[in-house]
Chains A and B, each alone.
Chain A
Amino acid sequence: MTESSNASQGEFPIPITVEFTGGLELLFGNERKHKVVLPARLEDGNRPNISYLLKYLVENLMKDQRKDMFIMEDNVRPGILVLINDADWELEGEETYELQQGDTIVFVSTLHGG
């Protein structure tokens, strides 16, 4: 995206791991683990946070057309848990959490059958 300007600022892209489980993997090509590289800075100068990641995932990674199975009103659909490095995202500031290199973000659906 804005890699050249990032590089000139001496900032490196942010590689992270994204995991989908509990049935969500079905929406993402039936793949549980995805490696994603996010830009160090967004066009507005901010660092990428979970809000940005959600948009990124829907636009770039989601194979299924039913976007509302994952996102509702620009946020994660109720019933889907988000873990940031294994901790409930509520402990990390939810969608405002700024992603760090090597983070693992897990999305777990509780909506599917048991």
Chain B
Amino acid sequence: MAPTPCFNCKEARAVIIRPKNRHKLCRACFINIFETEVHETITGANLFFRGERVAIGASGGKDSTVLAAVLKTLNERYDYGLDLCLLSIDEGIRGYRDDSLETVKRNAVQYEMPLKILGYSELYGWTMDQVVQQVGKKGNCTYCGVFRRQALDRGAGRLGIQHVVTGHNADDVAETVMMNLLRGDLPRLSRGTSIVTASDASDIKRSKPLKYAYEKEIVLYAHHRQLDYFTTECIYSPEAFRGSARTLIKDLEKIRPSSILDIVKSGEDMAALVPTGVSGSGKQMAGAAEDESAGGCGSGNGRTSGGEMAAMEKQLTENDAAESRETEIKISNGGRAIRGPTGKAVKAQTLKHCERCNYISSQRICKACTLLDGLNRNRPKTAIEVSVGMEDEEASSTLMRQMERAQLSAT
């Protein structure tokens, strides 16, 4: 077959067909266009401000590695003036995280960014290996997911950084839209599509600059720039990546590649229709901040972007029209009922701080602390004292100290 020339430069050999428009591009044009589109996403949503310190949630996998590489490139090319660093969470799974953390360490050198690795053991007093020893392989993903959700925020907090970016891509968002559609969770569907999640209650803002980037293009970008990334399956959840929503997305992409961005677009449009008062209160949502959807992991690293920082998020990027239909969830002490469009009362959620660790929670005790309670209760010969009522800023480190003590006395 004769080589196809690049759609863009008309000269070099095309090596890529873009999923979203079927354009055939050469290597150089593809890399350039991919970066330019991420730049447009960033500027279009006013994601950053000059001088901002930004932590990149880095797992050593393809998405976060591409995110780090692209942000470094764009920060230099367009002079964003960002102070970038890498933030990695070590779940404490020997043989799984060890290798990917080595990748992150290499990335830190390659991209000249400082790196902070924060362990579950340090944060919670338990590694995932120890959790699995205690609870078995079944259900351990719940623990991992709940812990991970808080971990990035806490890590950023420790670094004094108020903005965490994650590598969630268009496929992830489409998957979240489908999952929430399938389970009839319109509120969470709405939240999962927003590019920025931030809250009055938390200092930490989260965003996903690769929200419109196809997973396929992320992988190809990594391939053609020969980025150093690591892939493996979590040893405790080897089948996790075969999630049905994921398979559905990939099957649809095969038939009609634009499906993925179309689903993202549909999700955004549906989000704009979510009636007042519902957007923040998910159906049977146990805890917004520590929302655990579908086993936490999906394919590797917190794939299910749906519920993160969910109910307290304030959508920054939407236009005025949508804003008038939106509800901001305010931190308050009393609950209030809001009537949905059907006249059916929708229970609104009130967010407060966990009494133990001060993390955002819809419950008195956040989900991570509840899970820790269960774990610690069953840890033999461990006396845990928890001082309920610590509401000051130090409360979270108090939890950590308690957990450290717990670990010391257990070993």
Q: Which residues of A contact B (CB under 8 A)?
A: 21-23, 26, 78-79, 81, 83, 86-88, 90-93, 97, 106, 108-114
Contact = CB atoms under 8 A, between A and B. Distances in A.
A106 B251 CA distance: 21
Nearest to B13: A87
Choose among A86, A106, A113, A114 the residue with the greatest number of B CB atoms under 10 Å from its CB.
A114
Contacts of B13: 87
Given A23-B232, A26-B233, A113 B251 contact: no
Contact of A111 (B65, B66, B234, B246): B246
A113 B1 contact: no
A113 B216 contact: no
Interface stretch (B38-46, B56-64, B273-281, B391-399): B56-64
Contact of A114 (B220, B224, B233, B300): B300
> Shortest 9 CB-CB distances between A and B: which pairs?
A113-B300, A114-B63, A114-B61, A23-B231, A79-B250, A78-B250, A87-B15, A114-B62, A78-B254
Contacts of B16: 87-88
B130 interface: no
A26 B234 CA distance: 12
Given A78-B251, A78-B253, A88-B15, A112 B220 contact: no
Interface in B1-16: 1, 4, 13-16
A70 B83 CA distance: 41
Contacts of A79: 246-247, 250, 253
Contact of B231 (A81, A88, A92, A109): A109
A110 B216 contact: yes
B31 to A, nearest CB: 13
A22 B299 contact: no
Contact of A91 (B17, B216, B301): B17
B59 A114 contact: yes
Given A111-B241, A112-B233, 10 more contacts: A81-B220, A88-B220, A106-B223, A108-B219, A113-B301, A114-B59, A114-B61, A114-B65, A114-B66, A114-B169
B298 to A, nearest CB: 8
30 contacts: A21-B223, A22-B62, A23-B232, A26-B232, A78-B251, A79-B246, A81-B220, A87-B13, A87-B15, A91-B4, A106-B223, A109-B231, A110-B62, A110-B171, A111-B241, A111-B246, A111-B250, A112-B61, A112-B231, A112-B241, A113-B232, A113-B233, A113-B298, A113-B300, A113-B303, A114-B65, A114-B167, A114-B299, A114-B300, A114-B301
A91 B24 contact: yes
Nearest to A108: B219
Contacts of A91: 1, 4, 14-15, 17, 24
Contacts of A90: 17
B218 interface: yes
A81 B219 contact: yes
A114 B64 contact: yes
B148 to A, nearest CB: 12
A26 B300 CA distance: 15
A79 B174 CA distance: 14
Nearest to B231: A23
Interface string B238-264: 000100001100110110000000000
B215 interface: yes
Nearest to B243: A111
Contacts of B250: 78-79, 110-111
Contacts of A113: 59, 61, 231-234, 241, 297-301, 303
A109 B220 CA distance: 10
Interface in B298-327: 298-301, 303
Choose among A21, A90, A97, A110 the residue with the greatest number of B CB atoms under 10 Å from its CB.
A110
B62 A83 contact: no
B219 A23 contact: no
Contacts of B246: 79, 111
Contacts of A112: 61, 231-233, 241, 299-300
B151 to A, nearest CB: 16
Contacts of B254: 78
A21 B62 CA distance: 11
A23 B233 contact: yes
Contacts of B229: 114
Contacts of B14: 87, 91
Choose among A22, A26, A88 the residue with the greatest number of B CB atoms under 10 Å from its CB.
A88
B64 to A, nearest CB: 6
A22 B1 contact: no
A90 B232 CA distance: 27
B214 to A, nearest CB: 9
Contacts of B62: 22, 110, 114
